[in-house]
Chains A and B, each alone.
Chain A
Amino acid sequence: METAFFSHLPNHSLPDTAAAYKGSKIHPAVIQAGIMMSSGEIRGANARTMATMLAFQQVIEEYQCPEQTVLWKDLPNHLSPMIAWLEDCRPKGVGGGNAIRWLKGEINRLGEVDMGTDIEQKRHLVGAIDDYLTQKIEFADQIIISHAQEKIKAGDTIVTYARSSIIEKVLLQAWRRMKEVDSSAEFRVIVVDSRPLNEGRSTLYTLTNAGIPCTYTLLPLASSVLPNANLVLVGASALHSDGSLYSRAGTAVISMLAKEYRVPVVACVETYKFGERVSLDSVASNEIGEPEQLLQIPGGKPFQGDFPATLTPLNLMYDLTPANLITTLCTELGFIPPSSVPTVLGKTAPVV
């Protein structure tokens, strides 16, 4: 279907690793990160941003500035094919984009402020990357966890969708704290999941290992669990400046069901995932997963032999949850309404 409404979306394909190695322009650490992101071994905005930045850290450490130029002018050129490679492997997303933009800004600042020798400048950049990751992700997560766990009370039923690293941490921390206060107190978690990735299985595994009582169900069956739920917790890949949440496909569905049953939806997002971009619907910009995964269903493959020419499997990776379906955002700045995203963006735009 060449003229289909989704034909503009890039098809997911494995990157050409051999060419990348041969070209010698791309650092092996970056190649490795790219492959892992492409294959899905590294999944989730936080994990991907960290992998990208740590790879670049290594690149910077090993970088030698040529004689006739200065570091702040040459390093961006050195990095740009690597950034392009990563983009090839998987679109970097708003969070990753923000981090790379910050890194470029940081390199540029070396031209304005004298940091000393090349080695000192490199050391400064490496340290700055560490600080960025710590502040924007690790500390931010800790603050988000401390805010979000306030919303979980004993006897509650919490619904979560697919897998989000921050939601897992929130639930584990809330459980630990609840047990410290009163060992008989507990809450339940309902993990709602969807094919083809079934990422919720991993959440389920983590939570049950911690002893949290869990219910597992699939997205189409979620309407049976929501009437008894107290809170829906979702993570995000990005937050657009109109307050809409760009997250794993199905988040919009669970939020919509939650609204139907009047269950509050709290999205836990670090502010580095806030983006200037606005997109009016989920199809305008999205990623397409492997159609093979969609066609492979438990208990067999219905399409054997000739694949019908008129059939197109479409496996969207993300969807856009409109701001009106989100009750509140839980960020490192506290609980804010989705409408405050531009305010936060305005405040943090000159990234320090």
Chain B
Amino acid sequence: MAYSNLLKPDEPGTLLVEKVCTRLRRRQIVGSHNIALETAQLIYAIVRVVKFSTLDELLALLKLIGRRLNEANPKELASGNIVRRILRLFREEYRAAAATQITQPSTPLSGPETPGLHAPSSHYLSQDLSMTTTPPRTQNHSPNLGGTSTLPVPSRAPSLSNFVAFRHSRAQLERSGSTLSELTQAAASIENEEFMRQSAKLKPIFIQAIEEVIGELETTHDDVAKGAREHIHSAEVIMTLGHSKTVETFIKHAYRDRKFTVIVVESAPSYLGHTMAKSLSASNIPTILIPDSSVHALMPRVTKVVLGAHSILANGGLFALSGTLSACLAAKAFSKPVVVTTGQFKFAPVWNLYHEHGAVDFQSPGNVLGYEGDGSAGGITGVTTNAPYYEYIRPELINLFVTNEGDHSPSYIYRIIKEAYDEEDVEL
């Protein structure tokens, strides 16, 4: 396998990538959330071990990894999304660092240091990059999100504040009418110059950025559920399908404030609905478990349909567990709102070109037909089965996406995707 010169074929980093790819291929990691987490953790490990001298070199490597992961399982779009997100963050960090360098022309030598914020003498910052701070950023220490505290957090110089801080300060600058564009232009002008060679020094900040992504992923379910009470009124009848962790958290969150009933569709052949029903009823939520065939029959009694998604496409359509289309169509027929709860890591910059088979990721026919001897098909030969995991739902069937960052209508998804990823990363 051709890797970049940063990762040689037999290095531990390469093996790590291969291991994740293998697990993806074998479907040992399934579910967008798990895959997103694995991807972020993989990149975290790689960035930590890899030695790079320029940013471009690092980005190229990450793109390569993203491509490998995508090839390992092309239907798991979450891995690519996370890679794109990290690429974007790295660039932003880089620009932020570059911008501070511009605002402090006295580089690379030591300027007046902020009292009490000395970098250790062994630290890279003390060697040649000890830049001073721009005032709005000094106070911004992002909290260590989501229990990643066991990871070694680099002692950061305040000048090279993290991504959140940068975004924050940028927002402040924008609000105060300051000229952000000047900063970014300046940053652009010094690319490929002196600063470029110092990209390696940004490693701790890059690692910090990945930690932030991991933290975000770990809190996604709760973040999505935050607004649950605003969407559910008392005595509703909510229909959901299969078992989506996001939906589960959403419903349980809403049940703290509102009392309602949940109808869970069992969702053959995975029967994840049974797991969902078990979990919800264990939390004392009135739950009705129904077979897939009752979706249309019970829809008139339902007040809202709350669904999970596998991945969300740029047109606002989505791939979701097989059976979702029936629920959405029935909801449409009876004019019931369909809400999709999802983390934004599932937003993929792709379009579904093959509506019928775009989502096809086939599972074992054994799940559908059963194996001989269980009294099912009685060992009939020559029968084919069709068992995709996911199916495509067109955007017109969805009313709202409830995400960890706000609620959006399907027609707005393309915009979020445009903002979340850099244009150049759409094709990994």
| Contacting residues of chain A (217-238) with chain B, CB-CB under 8 angstroms | 217-225, 227-228
Q: How far is the CA of A180 from the CA of B266 in the complex (A)?
A: 44
Indicate if the CB atoms of B288 and A218 lie closer than 8 Å.
no
Closest to B326 in A: A253
Closest to A322 in B: B333
Query: Residue A4 at the B interface, CB < 8 A?
Result: yes
Q: How far is the CA of A318 from the CA of B280 in the complex (A)?
A: 26
Please tell me which stretch of A21-29, A46-54, A309-317 contacts chain B, meaning at least 4 of its Cβ atoms lie within 8 angstroms of it: A309-317
Query: Residue B329 at the A interface, CB < 8 A?
Result: yes
Q: List 16 A-B contacts (CB under 8 A).
A: A5-B301, A201-B376, A205-B377, A214-B384, A216-B383, A219-B292, A224-B356, A224-B386, A250-B294, A286-B297, A294-B291, A310-B281, A312-B287, A313-B290, A318-B297, A319-B296
Which A residues fall within an 8 A CB radius of B? 1, 4-5, 190, 194-196, 198, 201, 204-205, 208, 213-225, 227-228, 248-250, 252-253, 256-257, 260, 281-283, 286, 294-295, 297-299, 302-303, 308-316, 318-322
Closest to A302 in B: B274
Q: How far is the CA of A252 from the CA of B297 in the complex (A)?
A: 8
Residues of A within 8 A of B17 (CB): none
Closest-CB distance, B260 to chain A (whole angstroms): 12
Closest-CB distance, A86 to chain B (whole angstroms): 25
Indicate if the CB atoms of B329 and A219 lie closer than 8 Å.
no
Indicate if the CB atoms of A216 and B369 lie closer than 8 Å.
yes
Query: Residue B387 at the A interface, CB < 8 A?
Result: yes
Query: Residue B380 at the A interface, CB < 8 A?
Result: yes
Which B residues fall within an 8 A CB radius of A? 237, 261, 266-269, 271, 274-275, 277-278, 280-282, 284-298, 300-301, 321-323, 325-326, 329-330, 333, 356-357, 360, 367-370, 374, 376-378, 380-388, 391
Specify which of A205, A253, A299 is in contact with B378 (CB 8 Å cutoff).
A205
Q: How far is the CA of A249 from the CA of B297 in the complex (A)?
A: 8
Closest-CB distance, A83 to chain B (whole angstroms): 28
Indicate if the CB atoms of B281 and A256 lie closer than 8 Å.
no
Q: How far is the CA of A303 from the CA of B290 in the complex (A)?
A: 15
Residues of B within 8 A of A249 (CB): 291, 293-294, 297
Indicate if the CB atoms of B326 and A208 lie closer than 8 Å.
no
Closest-CB distance, A191 to chain B (whole angstroms): 9
Nearest 10 CB-CB pairs, A to B? A220-B323, A250-B293, A282-B297, A308-B281, A311-B281, A319-B297, A252-B296, A249-B293, A194-B293, A227-B356
Residues of B within 8 A of A250 (CB): 291-294, 296
Residues of B within 8 A of A303 (CB): 274, 278
Given A208-B382, A316-B298: A220 and B356 interface contact (C-beta under 8 Å): no
Indicate if the CB atoms of A283 and B297 lie closer than 8 Å.
yes
Residues of A within 8 A of B386 (CB): 190, 215, 217, 221, 224-225
